[in-house]
Amino acid sequence: MKSLREQASRASADALLALALAFGSAGAALRWPGDRPTDGLGIALLMTANLLVAFRRWRAGWTLVAVIAVILPYHILGYRHEAAVPGALLALGSFAAEVRRTKALLVGLGLAVIGLSSMIYIQDGRIDAGHLGAAGWIFASAVAGQAWRANKNYVGSIIDRAERAERTREEEALRRVAEERVRIARDLHDVLAHSITLIGVQAGVAAHLARRPQPEGPVLADALETIADSCRAARAEVRATLRVLRDEGEEPEHGAVPGLSGLADLADAVRATGLEVALAVQVEPGEVGPAVGVAAYRIVQEALTNVVRHAKADRVRVDAVREGGTLRLTVVDDGVGTVARHGEAADGAGGFGILGMSERARSVGGMVSAWPGEDGGFRVEAWLPVGDARPDEGPVPRVGHAGAVPPSRPGAGTAPLSPRDPEVR
């Protein structure tokens, strides 16, 4: 609709300009006649040539040909030459603005030569400065049309770049929104899956104890307190995760985002379900960056959640060891060892556990692999960069996929659990 209005506006402007040129040139020819007095034929030729200019935007080439065909008899008959100049130059300039530079300049030069030859013929072979000036104006009109074309293309390229930049900004904003949605979904999955799993186990214990003829009060109270603690921890983490959706002016809650220092509390929460957890952290929390610390915590959290939900294990071991510029995480249990495909549970229910762990690792430049142990159980390993690796230590693998068995590495098999293994809390 806007394009139709623009075309109608341009047509109206061109029509008004053509009428102004027609009546103005006719008035000038009547006021200042040339070698031949201006009569009806001269006025008709002059007005027709100028009215044709109204079609210069739609058919610039045909308009120029028609103007030349009408204006040549006007000049040959000896009417006032200057009166026909504005319309003819405008038609030539409009044509030059629509074609390539070489074609425009050749046409302008050709018309200048033709015009000069015609004037010499009309003047019986005489030539003066006025004739040369007229030929120069013809060629200059073609040059002006090309200059207008170059300026129009330049302005169009600027507008096009601005529009592309705007589209790029919009696409980047949409991409960031999508990434933020994925991040929030991943955080909520990690927090809620772990907390709800622990709450479900403890609630089952509490219900079992409550049905006994003589309930064990202290054990029941411990189970209920564990449920309450899990609820409070989940609420705090969910609040921190959703902080991004609130006003930017709000102060964030410090300490709500966990790291390596939170692994001990995580192990305690899992122990409350009756699962024996051996935790060995041989790296100081300050040795890794905050992002890597959060990724390590979430990976261990999801791995332990899967053990509680699906492994039917009695024991699980968690190791966090720095190997040069790499933080290596290992979570191995003595459960059923079912192959998990992107978090698929032993009972076939789909999930996103291992997929989420892989995304966590890739977000900081690491990788995760998970596979069943040779003697039962299941093993999850993650390699994350600590951020200050020396060049001779080699890079951290940046590509990995869930369920893949990594290349041969020291300790890649399922490590047996031993009561003598060190435990750090």
Is the CB of residue 123 less than 8 Å from the CB of residue 72?
Answer: no
Which H/E stretch holds residue 278? strand 276-282
| pLDDT for the residue numbered 24 | 87
Q: Give one DSSP letter per residue of 174-239, joined into a string.
A: HHHHHHHHHHHHHHHHHHHHHHHHHHHHHHHHHHHHHTSSS--HHHHHHHHHHHHHHHHHHHHHHH
The mean pLDDT values, 10 residues at a time, for the chain of 425 residues are 71 84 86 82 88 84 86 81 82 84 80 72 63 74 84 88 87 81 71 71 72 70 74 71 56 58 86 88 83 88 86 89 91 75 41 76 90 83 74 39 39 36 36
> What's the pLDDT score for residue 243?
66
Q: What's the confidence (pLDDT) of residue 121?
A: 66
For residue 88, give both structure tokens: 């003819």
Which pLDDT does position 384 carry in this prediction? 93
Tokens of 209: 């104890």
The two counts, helices (H) then strands (E), for the chain are 10, 5
CA atoms 232, 229, 425, 379: torsion sign: negative
Q: Identify whether the C-beta of residue 299 lies closer than 8 Å to the C-beta of residue 357.
A: yes
Tell me what pLDDT residue 123 has: 62
pLDDT at 416: 36
Comparing C-alpha atoms, which of 258, 243, 259 is closest to residue 184? 243
Q: Which tokens hold the place of 361?
A: 């690792």
* pLDDT of res. 329: 94
For residue 241, give Cα distances in angstroms to 192, 252, 297, 355, 406: 11, 10, 15, 19, 32
Contact 287, 318 (CB under 8 A): no
Give CA–CA dist 33/159, Å, rounded: 48
